[in-house]
Each structure stands twice: as structure tokens, then as C-alpha cells.
Amino acid sequence: MKILIADDERLSRHLLQKTLERAGYEVTAVENGRLAAEHLCRLDGPRLALLDWVMPELDGPEVCRLVRQQRKQVHVHIVLLTSKESKKDVVVGLESGADDYLIKPCDPEELKARLRTGLRILQLEDKLVEAREDMRFKATHDSLTSLLNRGAVMELLSRELVRTRREKASITILLGDVDHFKQVNDTYGHAVGDEVLREVAKRLLSSARSYDLVGRYGGEEFLIVLNNSDARYALARAEQIRNAVARLPVQTTRGPLAVTMSLGVLASGTEGPCSVEDILYEIDMALYAAKAAGRNCSKLVEPKFACAEPAAT
């Protein structure tokens, strides 16, 4: 575990560093408050700190306040080292953002015990953050494919449409459907159908860029949003994605299966459907046309109406 020591007294700093290195800590030692604040405010900075109260440039409480202001997402456990023993001084130190304090000179065993307490607090925080992120992921992602779920991808699409119109850019939206998927379920069972959907999801993700959106729209349907995509190449990009799905058989527990996808394609910019609902209606018609044309192909829809400019305020 990384720990930062800030003390302007060289001997004190050296003794603390040796004590903590023997206890297994990775120690960074600095001689003033400014350097301490710089280290602790970095994204990858130490999450444990021992700060002398009185230091050049910034004192311990000032460093605490800076760290609390600038590193809000991750907790840093800070222990103030001080010769001040009055209750008033202790309150000032704790209210500045310190988590604990020790009176100098401190007993090495007490110091290590206080730091172990700090470690337990940090570990508990990490578990809480992990649980929160896990709940957030589950709320926005499909449990089978780990893609964005329908609600999340629709919300993000709505935001991208607003941004596209504001920046007078363009966006390509694809609605894909796995061909003959019901036949896969009926012939091989739903477990194999799930294997197919997971592999299709992986292939869609691998063929999209990091800032594109890929979501499971429902059942065997997938929604792909290609941000800042030139409308002239919308159909070509759709064909690249379709080929990425169809190029190799999907390996399943029942053997390899040939899998293809039909795609409806719509390129939207300053002209075109106004709302997500309008876009999905038109792109669904394009998908229907792709299926009617024999499946395993992409069909581009030309928007049938333009979105009016927003009224001036």
C-alpha cells in the first residue's frame, strides 16, 4: 500500500519512512505541504498519508482541505502528526479533513495500529464503490450479453441526436436482427441460442469504435449507433458489421453454427427524423426490407421528413 509522509524535519521523516517500509508500505517522503498536496491530489496518488501539522508552504490542515476539495471521488485517509494537545487544536485538525491524529513523538506500534484502521476503512470504501458500480452496471446493461440494455441505449441515442444537431454533424443508426434465430432455439435449445447471442454481441462490439453505442434492443435485435459517422459511408459501414457477424461460424456446445444478420440503416444529421421514435419507425421499415430481400443484407432508408429547426427563444 502506498503511503505519503510529509515532515520538514529530516530525522523525523527518515525514522517514519524506515518504520513504515519495514511494515511493508511503499513510502513517498516529502519535506513540505506543497509537495504533499501535489502527490495526494494526483489520480494515482497515495491513499494513506501522514502529515506533520507545521510545515513550510502549506501546513497539515491546509493540505487536508486541498485534498478534500480536489480528490472527491476517492477517499484519502489522512493522519495528522502534531505536538498540539489542546482539544481546540484537535477539532481544528479534524474539521480541516483529517481522519485521525497522533501526538508527536508517536509510538511506532500505535502508529502502525492506526494505519491498519485506516486500511480497513479504505477497503470498506472500495467494497462499497464496487457494489455501487455493480448495481449501476446491472441497471444499464443486458444480463445475457453485457451490452447496453434497451433503456440505456435509447437514452444515449436521444442524447447523441441532440448533440448531432447542435454540432451539425451526422450519425448512423443500425438496427440488426439475427436471421432465423427462432429456428436456432427450436432446433438446438435456448441455451445454444444464448451462446449465439453472446457471440454476436462480441462481434458487434469488436467491429464498433470505442465511442460508438451497441445495445441489445430486445430478443435477437441489436441497436448500433455510429457517432460522427459520414452519411456517405453508412451502408458500407453496415456491410462491414454484417460481414463481421457472418464471416465465421459461431462455435457452440452443439457444434459450429452459421449465423447471419439483417440490418436496417439510417444516416441522420440536420435533416431527417426528429425523435428517437421517428427514427426507430423508419429504421424498422428498412430492416423489414432487408428481410424481405432474402436476409443477410443491409438496407438503407432515406428519411421521409425533415426535422424542423427549433424555435428561437
Residues designated as active site: 220
22: which 3 cell numbers? 519495514
How many CB atoms within 10 Å of residue 256? 10
> What are the C-alpha distances in Å from 175 to residues 78, 126, 241, 288?
52, 38, 11, 10
> What are the C-alpha distances in Å from 26 to residues 29, 122, 258?
10, 16, 54
Contact 281, 303 (CB under 8 A): no
Alpha-carbon distance 85 to 98, whole Å?
15
What are φ and ψ of residue 74, in 5° steps? Answer: -125, 130
Contact 260, 269 (CB under 8 A): no
Contact 145, 198 (CB under 8 A): yes
Picking from 97, 110, 108, 1, the residue whose alpha carbon sits closest to that of residue 51 is 97
How many CB atoms within 10 Å of residue 219? 12
